[in-house]
A and B are shown apart, each in its own frame.
Chain A
Amino acid sequence: MQVDSGTILNIQKLSVAFQTTSGELNAVRGVDLTLRRGETLAIVGESGSGKSVTAKAVMGLRDSNQIIKAGEILYDLDGQVTDLLKLTKKQMISQVNGRRISMIFQDPTTALNPLLTIGYQLTEGLRIHRKMSRKAAWERGVELLDEVGITQPRQCMKRYPHHLSGGMRQRVVIAAAISCDPEIIICDEPTTALDVTIQAKILELIKTLQKKMNIAIIYITHDLGVVAKVADRVAVMYAGKIVERGTAYEIFFEPRHPYTWGLLLSMPDINAADTRLYSIPGSPPNLLHKVTGDAFAVRNEYALNIDYEEEPPVFKLSGTHEVASWLAHPDAPAIQIPELLRRQIEAKISHGDEQ
C-alpha cells in the first residue's frame, strides 16, 4: 500500500454486480474507502445502496451470482500487501476471516447454527485459531458471554440458538466475533435487533475492546444516534456510490450532499412536536439500468441540468470532507442548506457547547 502505515484496509474503485434473471444489477459502482488502524468508520445510506455488498466483498463472502467488475481490496497480511479479492475462499477462511477480520451481521439467525449449542459455536474459533484446550476455551466462552452482558453465561453455553431471543442471539454473535482478537470488525447493523440499553452497553463494550486491542471498525447502520456515538468518520452511500464522506462533525453539521440533507431531515426529532415526518420524495433508481449523470438527480429538488447528463466528480471540501455533487462545483449556483435542517444543526451545536 503506497499509503502511510496507519492505513489497514484500502478499497480501490470497487464495482460489484449481480447476475439476475432480469439482467445485470450494478450494486456497487466504484467505491473507494480507506480504514485506519483503531478508527471507526460508519457507513450510512439508502436501503439497497450497496453497504452490505461492500462489507461482504471484504469478508470474501461471494454469492454465486456475484461478479467483481473492478477494483481491489488491499490488506496488510503479515507484512505483505494483499488484494483480498485475489484470495481463494479457502485462503480467506484460513488466513483472514475470524482471525483478522470478523463480521457481525444484522440477522443473528444466519450467523448461528441451530443444531449446535452456543458453547460449541463460541469455542470453535478459539480451539481452531487460538489452539486452546477444550476446557480453557469453554471458560473463555463463559467470560465472553459475561462480557457481552448475558446474565447466566454458564447456562447459556449449553443452550441452542432457538432458546434465545433475537437480542440474546446477537450478543452471542458479538462474543464470537471478538473471541479471536481481530484487527478489523465489520459490523452490519449489529444492534438493530437490540433494545437501547443493551445497545448502549454493547457499543460501550465494542469501544472499550477497540481501544484495548486497537481494532478498526466499519460500522454499518441506519441509526444516526449510533453513528454519532461511535463514528470518527462517516461515509454516506446512495445507489452504489459514496456520495459524501467526512468526519462525524462534518457530516452532521456541515453536510453538503442533498441526499445527506434528506437523510438527516427524516429523523423524528425526539424533542419536537408531532409534525409529519419528512421523507425524500421518489424512489431509488433501478440499478438494473444504466445510470446516466447523478443517480440522485430525479429526487433532488436542487438538481442542475448537468446532473442529468454527467456523473459528478468528487469535490474536496477539506482534508477530510468530500462530496460527489455538482452543487459543490465552483460555478454552481450557491444553494443553502434547508432552513429546517440549519436550525436543527444550530440547536445541536449550541447544546454541545453547553456541555
Chain B
Amino acid sequence: MNTVNDNILEVRDLKQHFRIDRRHSVKAVDGVSFTIKRGSTFGLVGESGSGKSTIGRTVIRLYAPTCGSVKLNGRELGGKLTLQMKQYLTGRVQMIFQDPMASLNPRKKIIDIVAEGLDSNKPRGERNELVYAQLERVGLSREFAGRYPHMFSGGQRQRVGIARAIITDPELIIADECISALDMSIQAQVVNLMKDLQTERGLTYLFIAHDLSMVKYISDYIGVLHMGRLVESGTKDDIFQNPIHPYTKSLISAIPEPNPLTEPHRISRVYDAPAQGIVYANGTERYLTDTHMVLATDGELETWIA
C-alpha cells in the first residue's frame, strides 16, 4: 500500500486481558476502537485503571494484544510481531512518561540518554551534533549534555524526555501523564513546546492525562475510557460542549475550578454504571455525527439525548 494514509493509527476491537491466576483475568482493555488523524492530538481520558496506559503500551508493543487490530500507517501491528515490523515500529512511535526521573537512567549522562534511540553505528560526531540539536530545540543549551539527570529540575528533565523522544524523528508520540508532576508554569512550557513541535514536524500525539483542562487545551479529538471500554469519543467540542454518556458528564462535572468562592461547595455528578443499569457489553457504537460516537443501547441513547 503506497497511498497516503490520512489516519496514522487505527485501532479496531482491541482487547488486552491479563491473567492474574488460573481462574482470574483482568480485562484491562475490552474491545476498543479509535483512529488518530495524522498531525492531530488525540486525548485519552478516563477512570484510573480504565486501561489508558495499557492501550499506549500495546500500541508500542510492550504487550502483544489479546485480540484486535492495531494499524500504523495502514500496516498491521496487532498479530505476531515480525522483526521487520518491529524495526518499522521503533523510531516511528515514541513514548514520554509521567516521571521523568524514573524514566531517565540516573547513571547515564544526558547525551547518552538522548541518543538512546539512535542507530549505534552512527559516527560519534554526527550523533553528538544530533543530540545538541534536539537539546537546543527543547530549550536546553548543549552544555547540559554532559550532566546527569539529578542535576535537572522537573521541567528540564521532562524536556530531556522529549528530546530523547523526538531524536528518531517519530511520527507518533504517546505521552502518558507526561506533565502531571510539574508545576503549572512548567506544564504550560512543555505543552507549548509540544504544540510547536507538532506544527513544525507534523507530529501526532496520543495524549493520556487526568487534567481535563489541559486535555481540552491540547487535543483535537478526545476518547473517554471507562472499564476498558471507549464510552464516548469525538472532537473536543463534541465531548465538552455536547457530552452524552453519563460517565463523560460526571467526568466533566468533576473538574475542579480554581475558584475558592465556588469550588468548596460544588458537588460533582455521581456515576454508577450498575446502579443505573448500564451494561457496556449490551451497547454498540452509535454515531451521532461523523465524529461523535457514544457506546449505548437504543434505549440508553434515547434517554441520554432527551
B180 and A199 contacting across the interface, CB-CB below 8 Å? no
Cβ of A194 within 8 Å of any chain B Cβ, yes or no, is yes
B123 within 8 A of A: no
The proximity string for B residues 46-79 relative to A, scoring 1 for CB distances below 8 Å and 0 otherwise, is: 1111100100000000000000000000000000
Q: How many residues of A contact B (CB 8 A)?
A: 64
Task: Tell whether, in the assembled complex, residue A47 and residue B262 are in contact, meaning their CB atoms are under 8 Å apart.
Answer: no
The answer to whether B155 and A283 touch across the interface, beta carbons within 8 angstroms, is yes
**Pair B256/A192 contact, Cβ less than 8 Å:** no
Interface stretch (choices B87-95, B128-136, B205-213): B205-213
A197, B258: Cβ atoms under 8 Å? no
When the two chains form the complex, which single residue of A106, A228, A267 contacts B260, counting CB atoms closer than 8 Å? A228
Contact A228 B48 (CB under 8 A): no
Q: How far is the CA of A48 from the CA of B199 in the complex (A)?
A: 30
Q: Chain B, 136-156, contact with A by CB distance < 8 Å: what is the 0/1 string?
A: 000000000000001101111
Closest-by-CB residue of A relative to B189 is A279
Q: Which residue of A lies closest to B256 (CB)?
A: A225
Q: Is B268 an interface residue (CB 8 A)?
A: yes
Cβ contact within 8 Å between A163 and B187: no
Minimum Cβ distance to chain B for residue A247 (Å): 8
Say whether A267 contacts B184, CB under 8 Å.
yes
Give A224 to B188 CA distance when docked, in angstroms. 14
Q: Is there an interface contact between B255 and A231, defined as CB atoms closer than 8 Å?
A: no
CA distance A277 to B188 in the complex (A): 6
Q: Which residues of A contact B189 (CB under 8 A)?
A: 279
Taking a contact as CB atoms closer than 8 A, the residue among B183, B195, B250 that contacts A222 in the complex is: B183
Residues of chain A contacted by B10 (CB below 8 angstroms): none
**Sample of 22 A–B contacts (CB below 8 Å):** A46-B185, A47-B153, A107-B99, A165-B50, A166-B53, A189-B181, A193-B48, A195-B46, A196-B256, A196-B268, A228-B256, A229-B263, A229-B264, A264-B258, A267-B184, A267-B213, A269-B213, A270-B212, A270-B213, A352-B261, A352-B262, A355-B265
State the B residues within 8 Å of A (CB): 20, 26, 45-50, 53, 98-99, 150-151, 153-156, 177, 180-189, 191-192, 195, 210-214, 216-217, 250-251, 254-266, 268, 271
